[in-house]
Amino acid sequence: MTSGCTHPRTEFIYREDGVDYVRCLGCGQVFEAEDLETVPVAEDDGE
């Protein structure tokens, strides 16, 4: 199954047994939030 959507925008749907489920606002696919690749966020050290 090949999907062209990278799921850039999601919305929280529900939590069940400690697992968060989200829906992609682009394609409508529902999946576990932990299945998304995390994007590193640059931290500002203030230096």
Per-residue pLDDT reduced to its tens digit, 1-47: 455 888 889 999 999 999 999 999 999 999 998 887 655 556 666 65
pLDDT value of position 7: 87
What pTM was computed for the model? 0.64
pLDDT value of position 47: 59
* 37 in Cβ contact with 22 (< 8 Å): no
Cα 24–25–29 angle (5° rounding)?
35
Q: What is the CA radius of gyration of the chain?
A: 14
Give 40's Cβ-side CA count (13 Å radius).
3
pLDDT value of position 6: 85
